Structure 1
Amino acid sequence: MNQLYKLLIEAGPLVIFFVANAQVGIFNATAIFMVVMIIAMIAAKVLLKEISLMMWISVGLVVIFGSATIYFEDETFIKLKPTILYSMFAVTLLLGTALKKPFIRNVMEAGFPPMEDIAWHKMNFRWGLFFVFCALLNEYVWRNYDTDTWIAAKLWLFMPLSFVFALAQLPLIMKYQMGEPEADAETDQNSAD
C-alpha cells in the first residue's frame, strides 16, 4: 500500500499540473501545482510517516520558481525548475562518486534489500548520469517546444523514462544483493551436516 501512496504522491501533482494547464493556462496551473505539491508533502508525512529529502528540495524549488513565474508572469522560471533540480541531484551524486561516497544509499537504502557496497557505487554513478541526461533533455524540450508540449513531456516522457531507468537497475540489484546473515548461517550449518 505504501508503494501506491508513494506513486500517487509523486505522480499526482504532475497529472494535476497537466490537467490544470489545459483548463486554466500555465500561470494558474503553476499556482495550483504549488498548492498540490505542499498537499503532497503533507500526505507523505501522514501516509508514509516521512518526507524524503528529494521531496523537500522539489517542493522548495516549485514554490520558489512557481512564485517567480507568477510574480514576473514569465513561464521560463517554472520551466527551469526541473533543470536545476536534476542538475543538483547530478552534481551531488557525481561528487559522491568522485569522493567514493555513494550518497544515493542515504536516499534509497530503506527501499532496497541489503546490497554490497559496489552496487551502491554503481547505482550512484548511473543515477548521476541519468540526472545529467534529464537536465539536458528538459533544456532541449522547453527551449524547442511550446509550453503544452513541455508539460506533456513531464508526464509522458520524463516519468516513463525514470520508471524504465529504475527497472534497468534490477539486474545490478539482484547481482549484488546480499543474503540474510541468518539464512546464510543456516545454509552453512546444513552443508556441514
Structure 2
Amino acid sequence: MLYNYKTIYGYGCKEIEIKRSRFIGHAKPVQNEDEAIEFINSIKSAHKDATHNVYAYILGERDEIQRYSDDGEPSGTAGVPVLNVIKNEGLKNTAVVVTRYFGGILLGAGGLIRAYVKSAKLGLEAATIVEKILFKSVHITVDYTLFGTVQNDLIKNNYLIKDIEYADKVTLTVYVQYDKKDDFIEHIVNLTNAKSFIEDGSDVYLYKKGDKYLE
C-alpha cells in the first residue's frame, strides 16, 4: 500500500488550436483498468466525429500497467509522447485522452509530438495535479480540563482537526498521516499523562495541493 503518491484530483479538460487542428486534452484519475477503459470509451463516444482519440494511462503502485494508443497517428508521434508526459510528471493511476480534429495542415512528426505533449500537459493541469496521502482518523476523548492543552498542541503542530464533539467529555477527531499514527498516539498519551481515551477511526485519502488539503 502506498502512503502517498502524485496523481490528479478529478476530471480536467483543455482545448487548444494548432495550425487549424483542434486538440482537446482530457485527464482523469482511475483506480483500475476497467475505469481507464470506460473513461477512454466515453471520450471516444463524445468525440466520435474526431480524427483521432489518442490515449495513454498508467496504473499500479509500481506503474506496472502502462498502455497507449496512437489511434491512427504515425507510430511514436502520439500515444508514447502522451504516456511520457504522465511518467515525467511522476503521476500514478492516471489516464489521458487527447482528441484531435484535423484542420487540413500537416504538422510533421515533430509537430505532432509537440502538439500531443502540450495537449496532455494542459489536460493534466486542468485536472489539478496533487499529492494523494493516506491518513488515519484518530478519536481522542479527554476531560474538559485537558481539552485546551490537547487542542492547542494539535494546532501548534499543524494536525488536521476534522471534528470536535462536546458531551460529558470532549472528543476530537484528528487526521494523522497513516505512517505516523503510532508516534502521534504516543505523543498524545504523554501529553495527557495517559488520561485520554484514543480510538482508531477509518482510513481516508486526502489530496494536497500546495499547503492545502482536499478530501
Give the TM-score normalised by structure 2. Answer: 0.25
Larger Rg: 2
- The structure with the largest strand share of the pair is 2
- The structure with the largest helix share of the pair is 1
Give the TM-score normalised by structure 1. Answer: 0.28
Larger RCO of the pair (alpha carbons < 8 Å, separation 6+): 2
